Amino acid sequence: MANNRTFTMLKPDSVEKGNIGPILEKITSSGFRIVAMKLTQLTTADAEAFYDIHKERPFFGDLVTYMTRGPIVAAILEKDNAVEDFRALIGATNPAEAADGTIRNMFADSISENAVHGSDSDENAAIEGAFHFSGREMF
């Protein structure tokens, strides 16, 4: 059975461009309920830990710099089949390949500044959500 929660981050480019409201509207109008949310800023250590899976990749340093350059919005979302449905809603990592009407198609500028993160599995949704939120912060 699929988990009914997923994790997302509105990345620094989304916050900088003032797209928090329009992206959250797209998320909630697609049937997701926000069960936890906060505006925060990742430290270098936070970003390195969160993206540890990519530490051997050549883009890791640029990714950490990008994710720490300004605030992010972290959120846990709830909906039946949350992970799969949210991945469909955000679209392909490369906004040029993202389907019309997806968040990345509408709000992302490039593959490296792609507006939003979405967990890729139920297991990662739980890990990523716990990275940003304690149990008492979720409703």
Domain boundaries, the chain: 5-137
Max CA-CA distance within the chain?
39
pLDDT per residue as tens digits for the range 57-96: 999 999 999 999 999 999 999 999 999 999 999 999 999 9
pLDDT per residue as tens digits for the range 24-60: 999 999 999 999 999 999 999 999 999 999 999 999 9
pLDDT at 92: 97
pLDDT at 33: 97
pLDDT per residue as tens digits for the range 8-30: 999 999 999 999 999 999 999 99
pTM over 0.85: yes
Query: Which positions are annotated as active-site residues?
Result: 117
Phi/psi for 18 (5° steps) reads 75, 30
* Backbone CA torsion sign across 77, 119, 131, 51: negative
| Domain 5-137 in this protein, CATH class | alpha beta
Whether the predicted pLDDT of 1 surpasses 60: no
pLDDT at 139: 77
Average pLDDT over residues 107-121: 96
